[in-house]
Every structure is written in structure tokens, then in C-alpha cells.
Structure 1
């Protein structure tokens, strides 16, 4: 477990890639379930939408990037890298969910429907959230760079395109506001 946490730390600091993680299907499945359950629990506890609305959006929000990542790895002939790539993506997502949760709590209501401007006490959590979001984007690009065997810039481009595709699918399935409500 300690070695796994060290590898995760090194992935988050761009020193290692998903190829350094063990091939662990059970751990990968558990991490995918955690990535689904953590935001679901937060939504149920603090959200205003019923589970019947939240769960399908959450599943699609996670399934689209996973499916696209699988297709990209398959197209490049790197099928064997899927499990470790998915493990790296989900473990790092769990870390970023843990970082984002207190920041989002401190930010309070900043939804697009809100007419309020950001209050001064929201500035620091907002800035820290922005830094965490940029860091998450870079980590995802780093993971894809290693998995797809492409330069970092290409990994970044693929990461951004996957995010855009996710927003398009969410908007098509759940309506225009679904993408922003899903946190994408």
C-alpha cells in the first residue's frame, strides 16, 4: 500500500506514469466505484437534485472519458495499458475530489444561476480551486502522454478534447445545463 501511495504521489508530481502502477483489476474497479460514490454521496447529502437525476449524469460523466480513453489506446495498439491508465486516472481523481471538496464548501453558491458576485472571502478558495483544476488537467495530460506514447502537448490536447466530448454528450443526453451541473 505504501508503494502504491508513493507511485500515486510521483504521478501527481509528474515523476512517474501509469506504467509504474501495478496491473490490479480489483483495485481499478474499486477506484472506479469510489470515483462514482464520492460525488454521489456529496450530491445526496448536500445537493438539491434527487438520486434519479444525479446518478445517470454521474455515470455518463465518468463513462464517456473511460470509453474514449479505451478507444484511443485500442487505436494506438496499447490495449494492455488500459487497466493501469484507468487506475492512474481514477486514483488521481480521488485525490482531486478530496482537494476540491473543502474548497467548494468554502466557495458556497457560485452556480451560473446565482446573481451574486464572488465575495472577498471566496477569492482565496476560488483561486485555489482554479489552481487544483489546472493541476488536474496537467496530471490527466501527463497520464495520457505516457499511456498513448505521445508528447505532453498531445496529451493535453487529447485531455481537452475528451472534456469537450464529455460536455457535448452530457448536453445531448441531459440538456444544456447538465454539463455545468455535472461539474465538467
Structure 2
């Protein structure tokens, strides 16, 4: 966590590549509990929530010029961490949903790590304290889960049956 979002090049291509990777890996993870169409839609919606909330937070703080680098950092780091989580989630699915397994613990560790990474990125993007960035990362997680539950929870139960 030594690199800040402002250290990334401000590149629309890099943003699209990072967002695409984030959506692709999100789709693969969603396929574990959803059908193919719902999995892709949930990943696209999650990517939109990530990019939209990033834009909103930067706009509120009047630092919109940092959007490309911040969104690239968030999507890129999210894609990397989801890529690490994917095999653990596959193993977790094969072992069952019991939370007392090593893959479950490692997924929890990755989730906490992700919250810290997002907090670090937002701290730099907003020129604020780490606690504020961390708090915003928890808000993002809550919004993301709420949106998923609102739109896709009925498909998860159908796909799991």
C-alpha cells in the first residue's frame, strides 16, 4: 500500500481495462451462486456502483479531476483481490457453506484487506485521514451488498437450488 492513486497515469484506457477486469472477475465469482445472465448483470451493476460512488464522493469533496486515477486504482485493486479470492470461493463452495473452513477464513481476511486498500485509496484521493477512507470503504461495501440483495437475491436462491 505504498502507491497512491495519484501515482497512476491518468489514462481512460487503463480505467476501462481495470473496470473490465473488475467486471469479468466479478462475473466469474457471481457464477458460483447465480445463473450466467444474472451473474454478468450483477457484476456490471457492481462495477457501476463502484464507479458511480467514486464519482459521487469525489464530486462532494470537489476533487473530480482525480476520478480517472481513483477509479482505476479501485477497480484494478478490486480485480486483483477478487482474482485471489476466486479460487478460495470455488474451494469454499466445494466444501460447503460452513464458515469454519480455512477458505472461509481466508476470504474474510481478503475482505478486510480489501476494505483497507479501498480506505487507503480514498484517503489519498480525498486528502483525508485513513479512518475516513476506511469508513467510506465500509459504506461502499454496505451499498454494494444492499444493491445486490435488492436486485439479485431472488436469482441466487434459484441458482443454488
Q: Deviations over 1:33-72 (max 9, x none)?
A: 111122324555xx46432222222211221121111011
Of the candidates 159, 171, 174, which is equivalent to residue 149 of structure 2?
171
Q: C-alpha distance in 1, partners of 2:107/2:148?
A: 23
> Of residues 64, 69, 79 in structure 2, which corresponds to 1:84?
69
1:33 alignment partner, SS class:
helix
Maintained 8 Å contact 1:22/1:84: yes
Q: Does 1:157 align with 2:112?
A: no
Q: Which deviations, in whole Å up to 9, do the C-alpha atoms of 1:6-49 show, x marking residues without a partner?
A: xxxxxxxx2121011111111110111111122324555xx464
Deviations 1:149-171 (A, max 9, x none): 11000111111112212222333
Relative to the length of structure 2, the TM-score reads 0.84
Q: Which of 87-96 and 101-110 deviates more?
A: 101-110
Structure with bigger gyration radius? 1
Question: C-alpha distance in 1, partners of 2:61/2:115?
Answer: 22
Q: Which one of 31, 37, 40 corresponds to residue 27 of structure 2?
A: 40
Asked whether the equivalents of residues 120 and 133 of structure 2 are also in contact (C-alpha less than 8 Å), the reply is yes
**1:100 counterpart = 2:78:** no
Gaps of 5+ in 1: 1-13
User: Could you say which structure has the higher helix fraction?
Assistant: 2
Structure 2: gaps of 5 or more residues? none
Q: Deviations over 1:58-102 (max 9, x none)?
A: 211221121111011011111110000011111111211221122
Alpha carbons of 1:69 and 1:110: their partners in 2 closer, same or farther (altered >3 Å)? farther
How big is the alpha-carbon RMSD for the aligned residues of Structure 1 and Structure 2?
A: 2.4
Count of residues in Structure 1 that have an aligned counterpart in Structure 2:
157
Whether the 8 Å contact between 1:171 and 1:177 is mirrored in structure 2 is: no
Alignment of 1:45-60 (within 5 A): 47=32, 49-60=34-45
TM-score (norm 1): 0.74
